[in-house]
Amino acid sequence: MNMQLTLIRHAPAGDRLEWARTGQPDEERPLTKEGSLKMRRAARGLRRVLESPERLFSSPLLRARQTAELLLDCYPRIHVETTEALAPETAPEATLDWLASLGNCPRVALVGHEPHLSSLLALLVHGQPGLDTLPFRKGGVAILELEDIRPAGARLAAFLPPRVLRALG
């Protein structure tokens, strides 16, 4: 099974400490206005280098869902599906099992959080989630080519910081 897997870190969200003072759960912390604007530009850049995914999944946290929804402007034929497999506390091995359960889907995009995405990237490329990999900046993207959905079953095709994506957009 061949799959192109795109990992996307959510765009900049509000300050964690300021949000905590509101008494609302961190899961509902939204993107900032500037974060949304930056992600719109980054999404336009991503569209120039990435064919539309067939499926787009997001962490259930608001900031990830909002980031995924911003991608729909550039990829209007898909919709956002949420999954606990992308929640920040989910073990990367569990995310890998969930990914395998999707079956034959050639192009999948996942919107999530750090350090979960870096751990998943390390598991897919190196076979171990604890290995240091490239750190995802907010709005950053990694594109992987998977021959098989298993540890060390992927090749990193591109790693695009948000600044590069915005310059392309």
**Both tokens of residue 149?**
């959905």
Q: What is the pLDDT of residue 158?
A: 97
CA dihedral (141, 146, 150, 156) in degrees, to 10, reads -40
Q: What is the pLDDT of residue 102?
A: 94
Query: Residue 135 — very low, low, confident or very high, per pLDDT cuts 50/70/90?
Result: confident
Query: Residue 27 — very low, low, confident or very high, per pLDDT cuts 50/70/90?
Result: very high
**Is the model's pLDDT at 1 over the cut of 80?**
no
Whether 82 and 57 have beta carbons less than 8 Å apart is answered as yes
What's the whole-number mean pLDDT along residues 38-66? 98
**Both tokens of residue 93?**
């091995």
The alpha-helical segments, DSSP class H, found in the chain are: 16-20, 33-49, 62-71, 92-101, 116-126, 162-168
CATH fold of 3-168: Rossmann fold (3.40.50)
Strand-pairing partners, residue 74, are none
What's the whole-number mean pLDDT along residues 21-35? 97
Burial letters 111-148, b for 16+ CB under 10 A, else e: bbbeebbbbbbbbbbbeebeeebeebebbbbbbbebee
Query: Residue 58 — very low, low, confident or very high, per pLDDT cuts 50/70/90?
Result: very high
How high is the mean pLDDT of the chain?
96
Of 19-23, 103-107, 129-133, minimum mean pLDDT range: 129-133
> Looking at residue 78, what DSSP letter applies?
-
Q: What is the pLDDT of residue 48?
A: 97
What's the whole-number mean pLDDT along residues 101-115? 96
Candidates 145, 146, 147; CA nearest to 158 is 145
Q: What is the pLDDT of residue 132?
A: 67
Distance CA 120, CA 132 (A): 11
